[in-house]
């Protein structure tokens, strides 16, 4: 990181502080304000981190105005066209595309870690049949901390690698077991002769009494969605993983915190909320009425799957997924899929409307993803779980980068205190 200097002068006392503006390889500079409290006795105030870079990172770059997303420098469009999810996972962690030998070793290692300890499988029995799968996944991921003690020395490189491979390998098994639990069907063991998403599909949809053939189109569609969801720099769930992990906690519990953060409808839960919304709208004729409710400031209704903190032009992932919807639905003989038609109409009308234009609101990654998940048979309650499987690749890459960073310290934000000033305790009899 090279530095430019900025001068900040406090008008109250004329004292100056020199602030270094760190330059990244591309993107806005970041003012280093870490000396402000010591020099000037003030904090900075930025609720929601609108203009705060919480860390330096070399993993993913987003240019929100230009609609650019790069993993380790590679454009998402190229990775979506030529790569696969496991290669992308390797790239995110290691920083470079693997040689064919390195990729084969990585793929083998992932496939050797797909099973869950049988005692973990018993934990599912404690859940009610209607538990949301995200609740089960967050719990089971945290519980890995109670089983895999051989990979929790966060300062040991080898432990960090084993932990990361385990997370990527076991998430599909954890997710599918949550689904089977809700159905009351027997859990299906992983099959290491299948590829990553083929194995996930068989764990979700196979039953022990029948043979099951993976549909390669379904597996390919999921793999593409997983590439697109694999990382997104310092998003809410990744920042949660980093914040929890900065305490030095067991890494499985940091991942569980990430799963929980992802679940919210403003983040990964949006894919489920979009399909709920489309079903409630029901018909293209009701689009104007629905958008009027969204625009009514008192209505509290949002167009789910629209808007993004960083993208202010278009989300390149949404563009790829929209194209993919056409292809997948066409090949499945569902070209006239009513939900897709409705989503296209909503997008068309919203993008011509001044409310959305003036606020720079565009479809995000989750506007169309649920339509593909549905088309390949994934139930709605599992949409955000699919996102969690994919984002695990990003979480482990960021966690590894953070732990290896010599500048790492506990993430401990400060606050602007607005509560009562000092006052004396009043005994209950006198209140």
Tell me the CA distances in angstroms from 370 to 186, 209, 252, 294, one per residue in order. 26, 30, 27, 21
- Angstrom distance (rounded) from CA 225 to CA 160: 26
Q: Using CB under 6 A, which of the segments 109-117, 211-219, 285-293, 305-313 binds ligand ACO?
A: 305-313
Query: With binding defined as CB under 6 A, does residue 303 bind ligand ACO?
Result: yes
Tell me how far, at minimum, the Cβ of 254 lies from ligand ACO, in Å: 19
Question: How far is CA 269 from its chain centroid?
Answer: 10
- Among 67, 245, 307, 394, the residue binding ligand ACO under the rule CB under 6 A is 307
Least CB distance to ligand ACO at residue 29 (A): 21
Q: Is 230 in the site for ligand ACO (CB under 6 A)?
A: no
When binding is defined by CB under 6 A, the residue of 305, 316, 370, 394 that contacts ligand ACO is 305
Nearer to ligand ACO, 245 or 363 (CB): 363
**For ligand ACO, which stretch binds (CB under 6 A), given 8-16, 125-133, 182-190, 301-309?**
301-309
389 CB-near residues (< 8 Å, 6+ apart): 171, 172, 175, 200, 226
**CB burial of residue 26 (10 Å; 0-12, 13-18, 19+):** exposed
Closest to 251 measured CA to CA, from 113, 155, 354, 367: 155
Catalytic, 149? Answer no
Please say which residue, 301 or 332, places its beta carbon nearer to ligand ACO. 301
Is 370 an interacting residue with respect to ligand ACO (CB under 6 A)?
Answer: no
Q: Confirm whether 150 is a catalytic residue.
A: no
User: In angstroms, rounded to a whole number, what is the distance separating the alpha carbons of residues 215 and 152?
Assistant: 37
Q: Taking CB under 6 A as the rule, does residue 318 contact ligand ACO? A: no
d(CA 114, CA 203): 11
Give whole-number Cα distances, 66 to 57, 61, 192, 310, 361, in Å.
Answer: 20, 12, 40, 10, 14
Smallest gap, in angstroms, from Cβ of residue 160 to ligand ACO? Answer: 26
Tokens 């196979």, located at residue: 206
Please tell me the distance from the alpha carbon of residue 287 to that of residue 307, in angstroms, as a whole number.
18
CB atoms within 10 A of CB 355: 14
322 interacts with ligand ACO by CB under 6 A: no
Least distance from C-beta 308 to ligand ACO, angstroms? 5
Q: Which of 62, 141, 270, 378 binds ligand ACO (CB under 6 A)?
A: 270
160 or 317, CB closer to ligand ACO? 317
Q: What is residue 50's DSSP assignment? A: S
> With respect to ligand ACO, which residue has the nearer C-beta, 59 or 206?
59
- The nearest distance, CB 23 to ligand ACO, in angstroms, is 25
Listed ranges 27-35, 74-82, 109-117, 297-305: which one lies at the site for ligand ACO (CB under 6 A): 297-305
254 contributes a contact to ligand ACO by CB under 6 A: no
**Rounded CA separation 339/238 (Å):** 31
Q: Is 266 in the site for ligand ACO (CB under 6 A)?
A: yes
| 267 scored as a contact of ligand ACO (CB under 6 A) | yes
Residue among 375, 322, 159, 123 at smallest CA distance from 252: 159
Only segment of 63-71, 72-80, 167-175, 263-271 that touches ligand ACO (CB under 6 A): 263-271
Q: Which two tokens stand for residue 75?
A: 């454009």
> In this chain, which residue has its C-beta nearest to ligand ACO?
307
Stretch that binds ligand ACO, among 6-14, 33-41, 95-103, 266-274 (CB under 6 A): 266-274
Distances (CA, A) of 252 to 141, 289, 395: 6, 45, 11
The Cβ of residue 317 has, within 10 Å, a number of other Cβ atoms equal to 27
Angle between helices 366-375 and 216-229 (to 10 degrees): 160
Neighbours of 50 (CB within 10 A): 7
Strands 68-71 and 16-23: unpaired
**Candidate residues 268, 316, 370, 394; the one interacting with ligand ACO per rule CB under 6 A:** 268
Question: Is residue 392 within 8 Å of 255, Cβ to Cβ?
Answer: yes
Q: Which is nearer to ligand ACO, 116 or 350 (CB)?
A: 350
Catalytic annotation, pick one of 366, 398, 405, 424: 366
Residue 23 tokens, joined: 């330059």
Instruction: Tell whether residue 309 is a contact of ligand ACO (CB under 6 A).
Output: yes
Within 338-367, which residues bind ligand ACO (CB under 6 A)?
359, 361, 364-366
Q: Catalytic residue, from 181, 218, 232, 308: name it.
A: 308
Contacts with ligand ACO, 190-209, as mask; x by CB under 6 A: --------------------
Size of the site for ligand ACO (CB under 6 A): 19
Q: Which residues contact 99 (CB under 8 A, 6 or more apart)?
A: none
The catalytic residue positions are 308, 366
Q: Give the footprint of ligand ACO on this chain (CB under 6 A).
A: 48, 266-268, 270, 294, 302-309, 359, 361, 364-366
């Amino acid at each position: 990181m090279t530095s430019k200097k900025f001068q900040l002068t406090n008008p109250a006392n004329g004292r100056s502080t020199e602030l270094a503006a760190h330059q990244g390889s591309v993107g806005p500079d970041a003012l280093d304000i870490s000396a402000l409290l010591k020099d000037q006795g003030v904090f900075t105030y930025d609720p929601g981190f609108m203009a705060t870079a919480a860390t330096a990172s070399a993993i993913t770059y987003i240019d929100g105005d230009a609609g650019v997303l790069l993993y380790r420098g590679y454009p998402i469009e190229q990775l979506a066209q030529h790569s696969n999810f496991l290669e992308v996972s390797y790239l995110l962690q290691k920083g470079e595309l693997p040689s064919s030998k390195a990729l084969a070793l990585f793929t083998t290692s992932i496939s050797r870690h797909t099973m869950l300890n049988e005692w973990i499988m018993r934990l599912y029995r404690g859940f009610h049949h209607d538990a949301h799968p995200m609740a089960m996944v967050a719990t089971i991921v945290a519980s890995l901390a109670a089983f895999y003690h051989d990979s929790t020395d966060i300062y040991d490189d080898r432990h960090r690698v084993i932990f990361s491979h385990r997370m990527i390998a076991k998430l599909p098994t954890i997710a599918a077991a949550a689904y089977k639990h809700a159905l009351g069907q027997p859990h299906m063991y992983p099959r290491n002769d299948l590829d990553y998403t083929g194995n996930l599909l068989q764990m979700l949809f196979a039953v022990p009494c029948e043979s099951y053939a993976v549909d390669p189109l379904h597996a390919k569609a999921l793999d593409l969605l997983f590439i697109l969801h694999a990382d997104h720099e310092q998003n809410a769930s990744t920042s949660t993983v980093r914040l929890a992990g900065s305490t030095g906690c067991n890494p499985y519990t940091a991942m569980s915190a990430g799963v929980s953060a992802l679940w919210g409808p403003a983040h990964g839960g949006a894919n489920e909320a979009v399909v709920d919304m489309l079903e409630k709208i029901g018909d293209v004729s009701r689009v104007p009425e629905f958008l009027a409710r969204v625009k009514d400031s008192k209505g509290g209704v949002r167009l789910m799957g629209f808007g993004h903190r960083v993208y202010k032009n278009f989300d390149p992932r949404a563009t790829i997924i929209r194209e993919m919807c056409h292809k997948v639905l066409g090949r499945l003989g569902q070209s006239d899929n009513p939900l897709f038609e409705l989503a296209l109409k909503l997008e068309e009308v919203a993008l011509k409307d001044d409310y959305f234009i003036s606020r720079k609101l565009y479809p995000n990654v989750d506007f169309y993803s649920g339509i593909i998940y549905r088309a390949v048979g994934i139930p709605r309650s599992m949409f955000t779980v699919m996102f969690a499987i994919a984002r695990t690749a990003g979480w482990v890459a960021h966690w590894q980068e953070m732990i290896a960073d010599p500048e790492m310290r506990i993430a401990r934000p400060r606050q602007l205190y607005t509560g009562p000033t000092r006052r004396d305790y009043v005994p209950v009899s006198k209140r």
